[in-house]
Chains A and B, each alone.
Chain A
Amino acid sequence: MEIPHNVTARPDTGLYNSKIGIWLFLASEVMLFGGLFSGYIFLRLGADFPWPEHMLDVTKGCINTAILILSSVTVVMAWSSLKLRNFRHFQIYMSITLLCALGFCVVKAFEYKAKFTHLSCELSNGLVLEGHDNDDKGEGNDIVYKPSRAVFPIETGEIHFLEAVLPSNEKDAEAKAVVSLKVPVASIDGNKIGVYRGDDKKIKVALGNSEIEMIAAKLKGGDEFKIEDEVIEFTDWSELAKVIDAQRDVKKRFLRAENDRRKYAGTVNQATLAGVTAVPKKLSDSLETTTALAGALQKFFSEELTLLVDTKGEPVSIKPSALRNQDFGWTDKGATLRDGTIIEGEYLQKESKLMLAVDGVDLRRLSPTPGEYDPKIMKQRIEASGFAEQFPTIHAAWEEQFAKYEKKEAEGDHVTSKELYYAKYHGEHGDHAEGHDAGHGESHAAGESLERDFDSHGLPIYEIDRADVRFLSTFTPRLNTYYATYFLITGLHALHVIGGAIVLAYFLFTGRKMYKENPEHLANRVEVGGLFWHFVDLVWIFLFPVLYLL
């Protein structure tokens, strides 16, 4: 069976099937990117922060625009070659198109990579510094503690975040960290119930349904059972995870028993209040049993698990994104991780300090209302923030720029808030060493320069106390809705480029056979693939100005 109009056009519509198909698909794509652009505009119009403008690498964007335009020309030439029945030319043009696609992706990859390593650091006074982490340890933006305890909320039941923080112990080597947990263990008739380490050194979890039923039965029988605390040491985190799972189950059981107890108690109370003197036997029995069970389970259950952490003096470092909140989520006594785990210990201020090689500053967040930047008030705010004293090199660079644009404004030229209050610093090469030889003080008072050194590009390195950082992020979707939109739209667009390139490559490498059988069919396919390719180009034509320029 042959589907009609696969190759030849249907006379009344004048179109073959896949051409209708691709145009319908493109109509759908119009709505997809239309939705993305509409979302962008919605977020931009409603933004409560200074919207980043002209922030991307225009050169790279320009190169990519040119690459896509070139590839659009070559793909249409490839189609024309097929129509003129010149397979050799088709191969050449299609190869150029694919090389363009590759080039586009490479440029994009470089652009993304630059963003992933670039930091934006909002200080608690509203200054926003941009730069690179200049710590030799490589994990310079982590917050570092010497841990003593970890408090684990049972609800989460996953130790993912705790595990990420603790050093991983290797098998058959000396443990780098030991966690110990105090848990109650009951013994009834020689059976142990609870979590304990067996004689074979393996962790035993005996807290399942059958054990709890046993407890309940013993309680009903009026038996006593002895409970002792046991301290279990863990070096294998998967064992710890198992125990935590068991503890979570107990918590659920306890909460239910407790709920039951309250319900029965309520019913008994109501009965008493209503003047029923003889409370039904069954009810009071149930009350007794559940009360006893709730009491017994409470011994096995605590609101949270407290783990004693011993890392042999080694500090642990916590990534900013793993914190529940960067501003309030940690103190000098401990930090709360995203899942609610609290790491307690001694905060190591020196190790936690952010060494930021600063290459830009945004002062607009000093204003509480985005869009209102009265120069007089802004100057006061900048002065009050201690910008000049703490970040002298960057301040000097900004001041120079500000003076230039202030003058321009006085001459009646239009000046944007970005030109006035956002400054990039490209570094001084050469003689900076003696010019800005900054002190290496251990501590500093407010207002003292934080400048410590210069990196190889001549960018000043500032030592920033973590307590002064409100929000720290790389230039990823986390940073703000602009970058989130940027990554989403360009990411989807890049996926379209890759998808389109795969299809075109398929035509190029397998087209010869079809060309020999039915060249028109191949030409149609290339036309359809080319239409998609042009659409991808067309989207970029809008993306480029919207994201890079406006």
Chain B
Amino acid sequence: MAHSTTATEAHTDEHHHDHHDDHNPGFVQKYIFSTDHKMIGIQYGITALCFMLFGFFLMMVMRWSIAYPNQPMPEWLTMFMPEDFLNRWMPVAESTGGRVVDGQVYNMFGAMHGTIMVFLAVVPLGFGAFGNFVTPLQIGAPDMAFPKLNMMSYWIYFLGGVLMFASFFLPTGAASTGWTFYPPLGVLTDYFVGSPWLTGQTWWLLGLVLLITSSLLGSVNVITTIINLRAKGMTWMRMPFFVWGMLVTAFLLLLAFPPLEVAGLMQLSDRVFGSSFFLPTGLSANNEVVNISGGGSPLLYQHLFWFLGHPEVYVLLLPAISIVAEIIPNNTRKPLWGYKSMVYGVLVLGFLSFIVWAHHMYLTGMGSAISTFFQTTTVLISIPSVILLTAMLISLWGGSIRFTVPMLWACAFLPMFGFGGLTGLPLAFNLTDLYLHDTYYVIGHFHYVVAPGVIFGLFAGIYYWYPKATGRQMNTFLGHLHFWPSLIAINVVFMPMMVQGIAGFHRRWYNGGISYEHTAEYLWLNEVISWAVWALAIFQLPFIINFFVSAFFGKKVTSDNPWNATTLEWATPTPPGHGNFTFEPIVYRGPYEYSVPGADKDYTPQWEAPKKDTPKDVVKPDTQAESDEPKA
């Protein structure tokens, strides 16, 4: 069937309405405008990894400027940037004979690093890639509920990403007002130009609206799929924890993003239609009162932004934590400890995340009553987080742990995320937050959650499901070469930031000057951090090589269930074909039946029918499927 001629393809297309079960799509339909959830998941994954690399690179340039203020960038940094771009933004200075990062470039890279990492890399990787690829498989569905919407969701995301990326090459450059885009700065930057439509600031907002639309479509799809497309016997409490995580993430995206869309549209209106949603009366720029009516409120933006912003943290986190929750029982060969409390924990976590947002705004002069409210809810939300973390730590206890590569990442996730979470507590309290606000302490805290936390979890997921997606294993040696140096480097990156932050190093300082004197004793740490960052970059090379080379030359998996796992995605052929399952999956038990006493092997998959009185030969799922004729 794979060798059908173009003539027959055209023929099939003409009779598309006949609902061919075994249709044979062309290249474009199969790989580009695919409606298959697995292909869309892979598209999401690769696009997001590319953006992640790009966001990482922006930060490498920024780290140069912080560690070596006013010194020309080395060749190994500039070689990745196009000549025209360099000449425009970082031209060769006569004195140093090299290219120096100035404030404008630093701001641009800083804003885009945050934006790309949050909106274009981590969320699409966690929710877009894993959510799309794994969720339908784990619940035994043939595809997502709305395959065409799924395709649209990816392409709208892609368009938003392209818009953000292309804005680097506009005359004004990309957005430069931080990933939070606070007004009035966000509105008034590049405001006095001929065409406000052709500025990076405006393209950022347009890109954001597209990304929100994309995640709206994605979340509707995921929730509907989980609710309506579960296989026979897949009751709520038999769903793998990953599916629960996706369900809650999708709800967060669904309900938290619209207020940000409102904020984005209002800011867009301020920029291009001259309104004053976020611009107060009497606002002046360049020592002149701006030609606007005023009467708006910058605080409104912050409220709308952080109403998304905090749930967004959990949108980043939950996919990672749910991936880890899949990998741990598989590699400890024992059930997930406290599955039910984790499920309830994640539901409570999802709900609470909506009402903690103003802890990002303590410095705005809010009253004591509202501040107390938000402090209370913020501290409350640590309870479900701790439930999740503790349950997984206890899951390790007494297990006969297989330290496979995904398990290494999962194990590293736990303390790293824990550390990130605990360092958040001082920021939850108004009193300490006022001191730590906008210092490197904050940077260190949330990067501990997102980088060694979330991204380690996502790496775990890539190594774990790679054999299912490609039919080949990733190389273990390269996996180790990726993991151990990354673990060390990333701690050397973020641990000193805590120290610097407490000393008062401000998150927006970029190139020395008089402000550096303030924390002179801790400046040497800047170089340590920067070199650790670049080392971290180098040790991603094994992963990149592993990722692409293994797809073609990796060791072929011999079984459809190489990890001896229990959940449904391992019941499909490898890689799964269109429609996923070759038999009708029926779920007989909970998701983590490992080492069940009395069972003949140490895992009992969800789809395996309970044994009758006279046990027959153990039938492998795939052979069983082949014996059944596919339904017409």
User: What is A's interface to B at a CB cutoff of 8 Å?
Assistant: 1-5, 10, 13, 15-18, 20-21, 24-25, 27-29, 31-32, 34-36, 38-39, 42-43, 46-49, 156-161, 252-253, 256-257, 259-260, 263-264, 286, 289-290, 293, 320-321, 323-329, 336, 338-340, 471, 473, 476-481, 483-485, 487-488, 492
Contact of A3 with B147 in the complex, beta carbons under 8 Å: yes
Cβ of B404 under 8 Å from chain A: no
Nearest-neighbour CB distance to chain B for A239, whole angstroms, equals 17
Question: Which residues of chain B have C-beta atoms less than 8 A from A477's C-beta?
Answer: 269, 273-275
Residue from the list B147, B228, B295 in contact with A481, Cβ < 8 A: B295
Cα distance, A328 to B287, chains bound together (Å)? 12
Whether B227 is near chain A, meaning CB under 8 Å from some CB there, is yes
Residues of B125-161 at the interface with A, using a CB-CB cut-off of 8 Å, are 141-147, 149
B229 located at the interface, meaning its Cβ lies under 8 Å from any Cβ of chain A in the complex:
yes
Q: Per-residue 0/1 for B182-207: is the Cβ within 8 Å of any A Cβ (1 yes, 0 no)? A: 00000000001111000000000000
Could you tell me the distance between the alpha carbons of A336 and B147 in the complex, rounded to whole angstroms?
55
Partner among A28, A328, A492 whose Cβ is within 8 Å of the Cβ of B220: A28
Contacts of B269 in A (CB 8 A): 477, 484, 487-488
Chain B residues within 8 Å of A32, by CB: 258-259, 261-262
Give Cα distance in the complex from A34 to B294, angstroms: 23
**Given A325-B289, A488-B265, A43 and B296 touching (CB < 8 A)?**
yes
Say yes or no: A263-B95 contact (C-beta < 8 A), given A338-B291, A339-B192.
yes
Q: Closest Cβ of chain B: how far from A46's Cβ, in Å?
A: 5
C-alpha spacing A2/B144, complex, angstroms: 11
List the interface of chain B (C-beta within 8 A of A): 19, 21, 91, 93-95, 141-147, 149, 171, 192-195, 216, 219-221, 223-224, 227-229, 254-259, 261-263, 265-266, 269, 273-277, 281, 286, 288-297, 299-300, 303-304, 307, 578-579
- Report whether B275 and A481 are in contact in the complex, using a CB–CB cutoff of 8 Å: yes
8 Å CB contact of B194 from A158, A253, A488: A158
Complex CA gap A476/B258 in Å reads 24
- Residue from B91, B149, B273, B291 whose CB has the most chain A CB atoms within 10 Å: B291
Which chain A residues border B261 with CB–CB below 8 Å?
32, 35
| Chain B proximity of A199: nearest CB distance (Å) | 30
B94, B262, B291: which contacts A256 (Cβ < 8 A)? B94
Q: Inside 8 A of B219's CB, which chain A residues have their CB?
A: 24, 28
Evaluate contact between B262 and A2: CB separation under 8 angstroms. Answer: no
Q: Tell which of A21, A320, A324 touches B145, judged by Cβ atoms closer than 8 Å.
A: A21
Complex CA gap A31/B300 in Å reads: 16
- Interface pairs A-B: 7 shortest CB-CB: A160-B194, A477-B275, A484-B275, A35-B259, A260-B95, A35-B262, A32-B258
- A1-B578, A3-B142, A484-B273 given; name 8 further pairs at CB < 8 Å: A1-B579, A27-B255, A35-B258, A46-B297, A156-B193, A156-B194, A329-B288, A479-B293
Q: Which of B21, B192, B277 is A324 in contact with, Cβ under 8 Å? A: B192
A329, B304: Cβ atoms closer than 8 Å? no
Nearest chain B residue, comparing its CB with the CB of A216: B94
B208 CB to closest chain A CB (Å) equals 14
**Quick check: B192 and A17 within 8 Å, CB to CB?**
no
**B289 near A252 (CB under 8 angstroms)?**
no
Query: A484 and B277: CB pair below 8 A?
Result: yes
Task: Note all chain A residues with C-beta closer than 8 A to B294.
Answer: 48
- Which residues of A are found within 8 Å of B257, using beta-carbon distances? 28, 31
A1–B21 touching, CB < 8 Å: yes
Contact B258 A43 (CB under 8 A): no
Instruction: Kindly state the separation between the CA atoms of A492 and B194 in the bound complex, as whole angstroms.
Output: 26
With A3-B143, A290-B95, A492-B265 as contacts: A328 and B288 at CB distance below 8 Å = yes
Pair B293/A473 contact, Cβ less than 8 Å = yes
In the bound complex, residues from chain B placing their C-beta under 8 Å from that of A320 are 291
Q: In the bound complex, do residue A478 and residue B274 qualify as a contact, i.e. CB atoms below 8 Å apart?
A: yes
For B276, B295, B304, which residue has the most chain A Cβ atoms within 10 angstroms?
A: B295
* B94 and A28 contact, CB distance less than 8 A: no
Is there contact, CB below 8 Å, between A28 and B255? yes
Residue of A nearest to B577 (CB): A1
Whether the pair A327, B289 counts as a contact (CB closer than 8 A) is yes
Neighbouring A residues of B193 by C-beta, 8 Å: 156, 158, 160, 339
| A25-B220, A32-B261 given; A324·B288 CB < 8 A | yes
What CA separation (Å) do A253 and B223 show in the bound complex?
56
Chain A residue contacts of B263, Cβ below 8 A: 35
Contacts of A480 in B (CB 8 A): 276, 293, 295
Q: Which residues of the partner chain A approach B288 to less than 8 Å between Cβ atoms?
A: 324-325, 328-329, 336
Q: Which residues of B contact A323 (CB under 8 A)?
A: 291
Chain B residues near A290 (CB, 8 Å)?
Answer: 94-95
A339 and B149 CA atoms in complex are apart in Å by 43
Complex: how many Å from CA A476 to CA B275? 8
Residues of B contacting A43 with CB < 8 Å? 277, 295-297, 300
Residues in chain B near residue A158, CB distance under 8 A: 171, 193-195
Residues of B within 8 A of A485 (CB): 277
Contact of A161 with B293 in the complex, beta carbons under 8 Å: no
- With A32-B262, A478-B274 as given contacts, are A329 and B291 in contact (CB-CB < 8 Å)? yes
In the bound complex, how far is the Cα of B289 from the Cα of A329, in angstroms?
A: 9
**Contact, CB under 8 Å: B94 / A257:** yes
CB-defined contacts of B296 to chain A, threshold 8 Å: 43, 481, 484
Q: A31 to B224, Cβ gap below 8 A?
A: no
Give the contacting residue for A35; candidates B19, B142, B171, B304; CB below 8 A.
B304
Choose from A42, A260, A329 the contact partner of B297 (Cβ within 8 Å): A42
* A17 and B95 within 8 A (CB): no
Cβ contacts under 8 Å, B146 to chain A: 17-18, 21
Are A29 and B258 touching (Cβ within 8 A)? yes
Among the listed B220, B259, B286, which residue makes an inter-chain contact with A24, where contact means beta carbons less than 8 Å apart? B220
